[in-house]
Structure 1
Amino acid sequence: MIDKVTKKIVGSLDWRPEKQPYMMIATPEVPGYITSHGPGETPDSVLDLHKEMQKLSGI
């Protein structure tokens, strides 16, 4: 968000909740594949895990 008078950035329009609840779903186990880091997942930690998996798979 930009102040109309000073033209300076005064805030962000991005909104993220403090906690993002996820429904527990059973997932199959695949050897060598990491599905989750455990309780306390956040949108950012899920993105970090995705990036980590991309590095490991060479994508």
Structure 2
Amino acid sequence: MRITVAPDRCVGAGQCVLNAPALFDQDDDGLVTLLADPTAAQETTARLAGALCPSRAITVHEG
């Protein structure tokens, strides 16, 4: 699994950080930043964070 983020699409809702703080953070403008690709144990959390993103700024790539 790999994750990409699009800060230009981010609206700063923070759902990613609330649900997966080990994977995501917000910069000084409140926009998403990726801290790390998920481990096998974090894959479910990563998918949830991607699904909860209201602006679809997080893309989860399977495989």
TM-score normalised to structure 2 length: 0.28
Task: Report which of the two structures shows the higher radius of gyration computed on alpha carbons.
Answer: 1
Of Structure 1 and Structure 2, which has the larger fraction of its residues in strand? 2
